[in-house]
Structure 1
Amino acid sequence: MRGLCRTSLLATLLAMTPFVASAQTQSAPSATGAWPTQQIRLIVPYSAGGTTDFLGRLAADYISKRTGQNVIVENRTGAGGNIGADIVAKSAPDGLTLAMITDGVMTTNPYLYRSMPFDSAKDLVVAAIVGEAPQVIVVNKDVPAKTLQEFVALSKARPGSINYASAGIGSSNQLSALQLERIAGIKMVHVPYRGAAPAVADLASGQVQMISVGVAPVISLVQAGQLRLLAATTKKRMPLLPDLPTAAESGAPGYESTTWFGIVAPSATPAPIIERINGLMRDLVADPDTKKRFDDNYLIAWNLTPPEISKLVADQAAMWEKIIKEAGIKLD
């Protein structure tokens, strides 16, 4: 669904579109003995300059170096990632057309959109997940709550008086807040914006009281004292913010809401190709240089096998289906 990169990356990334990762080493033997034999097309279904674009280009460069084939990155935006993902869903299952997506394509879009151009559960397979952009629950400095427990108590004492911001209807910010409402038994007022930047700006000025959002857009405002962190939405504490408790530690058991990023292929793609892509991406995130880049952008690397990914996607899809249907959210 979701996350932003630091400003230092944006100009570089924008200048790289269109992007071709050139082979710098000879092709290594593949799991199939043949893949890849031609140029690979990696779709990024979101705009240049964001986290998904950054990760897509990082993955493309690494695959190229390891396989000896060029990898072209194409930004095909629209419909929450559906337009770009649809290209992959309708492509030949040969591993030559892939996409770097956010989790929303697989776990929330099927329930958010009135119609989908493909069936994510039947037409796509997540070959690898490279990592997540964790969210944090943040409030304006004037909100009289220093912890998530105090915020929940305040919301219960003043039902309907707390406004939370989001990057738009159906965004990860809204879905994260809906999950908090459901688990904590509170009710807040949703104020959607056109993007995370204006939402965070109004949070800092006190027009709204809370947002659940990635770390990068708010960390400087937190350091300046304009915003206050209450909790992380991750399962475990964030390595770069070890003193920040998780929401589950703070009175919201089971609460977890992050944006993960992964590579999808057509569902009929042979298992050896899926396993090869998975292995390449696990090698990528284990690289020390990748770790530094992830740390610089408040990203957390993941290292999951294909069976682990399949279970995760199914479990999250079932969870979000229930939350979205209860909220009655629909996008055209």
Structure 2
Amino acid sequence: MISGKLVRAKACILGVATAALALSAIALPAKAQPYPSRSITMLVGYSAGGQADALARIVGKQLGENLKVSVVIENKTGANGMIAAQAAARAEPDGYSILMVTDAMVTIDPHLATSNHFDLSKAMEPVVSVAWSPLLLAAANNVPANSVAELVALGKQKTQNLSFGSSGSSTPHRLAGEMLQKYGGFTMTHIPYKGTAASVNDLLGGQIPLLFGAPTAVEPLATAGKIKVLGVTSEKRFPLLPNVPAISETFPQFKIISYIGFMLPRNTPRPVIATLNKEVNQILATDTMRAWLDKQGMVAVGGMPDDFRRQIEVDYQARGELVRALGITAE
């Protein structure tokens, strides 16, 4: 009898111990996987084959090799990149959905009167500014002005109607033209196009006298003598085109540039942001990457997340005031 009781008691104790071990195993948190442990998706709001897409692919390829995971480029076009932006903002904040952003997406689109008022800068975390490029003010060869000062004087004479082309109504290209009018005290008619290529064609064909465009679209034609470049929109002369005067040499406050960077959903863990920031900075420091950017008319930026945040904040404020003053609406 006693031995039977002992057996039943031991069995009971063993059952309790087993149950306790099972409960403790459930209570223990699962060990966090190191980042990254699976493929990363890079969302791009522009068509495959464009400059933003090409930059995403070259950085993504190297990023994947460095982190030893695949980086998949997903093009979600529409609404000036905001389809991709909203998809990225809804993603889990775990570092596996990276958004490539342009300056227009974070500093112009949130202010547009007819936009859906989606403010990307509040929904996402800056990771790093990747590269920047100025715009060039180009003129047809028959325009009787060879400098910004001469163009302003021509505009004030009002002897001919001046117009300028841009790649769209809500683009940095359009804002550059509006800023020039503001500082120069003269007026021009804005002609929006669907992309720079169309405006360049009309400049060559004599349909418009002026345009603001990317260096890659404008500089080769100027070198060939088909058009002329009057100025560059960066704060100082562009390193890749040192002989082109900055518009700021005539109007010191003038500055507008285009840039591309990476952002992650809000509340992404800081170590994840730090990892991606470090890796992208290392990629941007390579001779191969810098040479590729040179050919694209762009300059590597890099830096810390807060550097990118400050850049966005300054342009968000300045461009917002201009958008509201002009009543610019979404395209």
Q: What's the offset of the Cα at 1:163? A: 0.7
Q: Partner amino acid for 1:239?
A: P
Q: Partner amino acid for 2:197?
A: A
Please name the residue that 2:173 is paired with: 173
Secondary structure of the residue that 1:46 maps to in structure 2?
coil
1:262-284 CA distance string (max 9 Å, x none): 11110211122212212211111
Please show how residues 1-332 of structure 1 align to structure 2 within 5 Å. 34-112=34-112, 114-116=114-116, 118-158=118-158, 161-249=161-249, 251-331=250-330
Q: Partner amino acid for 1:258?
A: I
What is the rounded CA distance, in whole Å, between the counterparts of 1:33 and 1:180 in structure 2?
52
What is the rounded CA distance, in whole Å, between the counterparts of 1:233 and 1:115 in structure 2?
27
Secondary structure of the residue that 1:145 maps to in structure 2?
coil
Please report the TM-score for the alignment, with normalisation by the length of structure 1.
Answer: 0.86
What is the rounded CA distance, in whole Å, between the counterparts of 2:159 and 2:305 in structure 1?
43
What is the rounded CA distance, in whole Å, between the counterparts of 2:244 and 2:33 in structure 1?
47
What is the rounded CA distance, in whole Å, between the counterparts of 2:131 and 2:42 in structure 1?
17
Secondary structure of the residue that 2:216 maps to in structure 1?
coil
- Taking only the aligned residue pairs, the percentage that are identical comes to 29
Please name the residue that 1:10 is paired with: none
1:47-86 CA distance string (max 9 Å, x none): 0111110111112112111111111101100000100011
What is the rounded CA distance, in whole Å, between the counterparts of 2:235 and 2:95 in structure 1?
32
What is the rounded CA distance, in whole Å, between the counterparts of 1:286 and 1:145 in structure 2?
40
Contact kept, 8 Å, 2:196 with 2:214, in 1: the verdict is no
- Give the structure with the larger helix fraction: 2
Secondary structure of the residue that 1:217 maps to in structure 2?
helix
What is the rounded CA distance, in whole Å, between the counterparts of 1:38 and 1:209 in structure 2?
52
Q: What's the offset of the Cα at 1:113? A: 5.3
Secondary structure of the residue that 1:292 maps to in structure 2?
helix
Contact kept, 8 Å, 2:100 with 2:262, in 1: the verdict is yes
Secondary structure of the residue that 1:118 maps to in structure 2?
coil
Please name the residue that 1:4 is paired with: none
Secondary structure of the residue that 2:135 maps to in structure 1?
strand
Contact kept, 8 Å, 1:89 with 1:118, in 2: the verdict is no
Contact kept, 8 Å, 2:130 with 2:300, in 1: the verdict is yes
Please report the TM-score for the alignment, with normalisation by the length of structure 2.
Answer: 0.87
Contact kept, 8 Å, 2:41 with 2:73, in 1: the verdict is yes
Per the alignment, do residues 244 and 324 of structure 1 end up closer, same or farther by CA in structure 2, a change over 3 Å counting? Answer: same
What is the rounded CA distance, in whole Å, between the counterparts of 1:190 and 1:159 in structure 2?
18
Contact kept, 8 Å, 2:44 with 2:100, in 1: the verdict is yes
What is the rounded CA distance, in whole Å, between the counterparts of 1:160 and 1:178 in structure 2?
18
Q: What's the offset of the Cα at 1:308? A: 1.4
Of 218-227 and 291-300, deviating more is: 218-227
**What is the CA RMSD across the aligned residues, in angstroms?**
1.7
Deviating 4+ runs (over 4 angstroms) = none
1:97-135 CA distance string (max 9 Å, x none): 011121111110001252337331321122111101221
What is the rounded CA distance, in whole Å, between the counterparts of 1:129 and 1:95 in structure 2?
17
Size of the aligned set, in residue pairs, is: 300
Contact kept, 8 Å, 1:110 with 1:120, in 2: the verdict is yes
| Structure 2 spans left out of the alignment, 5+ residues | 1-31
Secondary structure of the residue that 1:329 maps to in structure 2?
coil
What is the rounded CA distance, in whole Å, between the counterparts of 2:274 and 2:158 in structure 1?
51
Please name the residue that 1:8 is paired with: none
Contact kept, 8 Å, 1:160 with 1:187, in 2: the verdict is no
Please name the residue that 1:25 is paired with: none
Q: Partner amino acid for 1:215?
A: P
Please name the residue that 2:9 is paired with: none
Contact kept, 8 Å, 1:98 with 1:264, in 2: the verdict is yes
